[in-house]
Amino acid sequence: MAGTELFGAEERKEVNDVLETGMLFRYNHDQQRNGIWKAREFEAEVKKITGAKYAHAVTNGSAAIAIALASAGIGTGDEVIVPPFTFIATIEAVLFVGAIPVFAEIDESLCLSAEGIKNAITPKTKGVCLVHMCGGVAEMDSIMQVVNEHNLILVEDAGQAFGSSYKGTSVGLFGKAGSFSFDFFKIATAGEGGVFITNDEATYKIADAYSDHGHSHVGSKRGMEPHPVLGFNYRISELNAAVGVAQTRKVPHILEVNKKYKKMLMDTLSQTDGISFVKVGDPNGDSSTFLNILLPDTETAQQTVDELNSAGVGGFDYWFKNMYHFINQWDHIKNMDTASKLPAQVLGMPQDYNTMQLPKSQEVIGRLISFSIRCTWTEEDVKTLAKNISACVKKAVPVNA
């Protein structure tokens, strides 16, 4: 992914700023840090990209979505509609705030569909945790219509979609709160890091306190701060935030290059029989970190994967068999193999995760192959990749397809 491709003097400069002061902790000690506040700078850079009124940097994207859920008021016994295609942290976050995940269908956007959400609503549904997958964005107009009609809380997990938007609005800002991941594999990385965003001041204040043992961060003496809510420790370090500062500043350039290369790939591959593409809610708002192709059926996709491996073409994911991103491999979720008992196990769940049927999701993910786009490619690299993908698909697609 792009963040780790563009790593050098800028990151070292930001980290050295912190090392020279010796202040690795993000709060207080004003005189000792000589005006160096990297977590604050990181948050400011995220606000520039997203247009969010409030941003709060935390340890990782998993913490960011957990904080978003909690600060939005999601808790014990609340049913939350979730997708079966996401990094597993989304589901873990819902469970660990005490809520109950209810799986719903995705569509060819790779995200929850309005129809899927509507069909999963029960009298106990409190919210929707919408995940924007593989750099794209969901179809927000129809989704917001369902959310508003049923008075649901919307929380967005945009861990894979920093820089994406829908009709001019950044992902993460359609609902009560949103979250991004800045781990090692994202468009920008802090090594480990995540950012919570919202346009609602009250929600932000809860998140700010919740992520640091309930501290209000009012006043200059940490031990004497008020504690408006119970919380836990999700603080980011100044070192990680420093890397995030430099990386986030590079995102506009990365987006520009990614969009160019993705268009080149799609223009070429659209001429190959059997290849179609994922439907992005707003193509103009796509971060273009992935080229997501759809094959005619699961059997053809699996044959294409075999052909790609045989030809030595790398840099792709076949999510249908991925251990962490699709429900088929989540045996520990299906069986609720937990270290300690969770509220969902006590209260009961409306779905049997082992027997529930999600045919549309199975069909879409079975056909999906995603290629990471690299901003450090040359145009010749892009042409070569397109040629190789096309050749492998032609070998896999039946002649009469």
Catalytic option among 126, 186, 205, 250: 186
Distance CA 299, CA 295 (A): 9
**HEC readout, the chain:** CHHHHCCCHHHHHHHHHHHHHCCCCCCCCCHHHCCCCHHHHHHHHHHHHHCCCEEEEECCHHHHHHHHHHHCCCCCCCEEEECCECCCHHHHHHHHCCCEEEECCECCCCCECHHHHHHHCCCCEEEEEEECCCCCCCCHHHHHHHHHHCCCEEEEECCCCCCCEECCEECCCCCCEEEEECCCCCCCCCCCCEEEEECCHHHHHHHHHHCECCCCCCCCCHHHCCCCCCCCECECCHHHHHHHHHHHHCHHHHHHHHHHHHHHHHHHHCCCCCCEECCCCCHHHCCCCEEEEECCCHHHHHHHHHHHHHCCCCCEECHHHCCCCEHHHCHHHHCCCCCCCCHHHHHCCCCCCCCCCCHHHHHHHHHEEEEECCCCCCHHHHHHHHHHHHHHHHHHCCCCC
In the DSSP assignment, the letter for residue 223 is G
Active site residue 186: yes
State both tokens at 190.
């802090």
190: left (phi over 0), alpha (psi -120 to 50) or beta: alpha
Helix or strand or coil: residue 401? coil
Rounded to a whole number of angstroms, the distance between the first and last alpha carbons of the chain is: 33
Which residues are tagged catalytic?
186
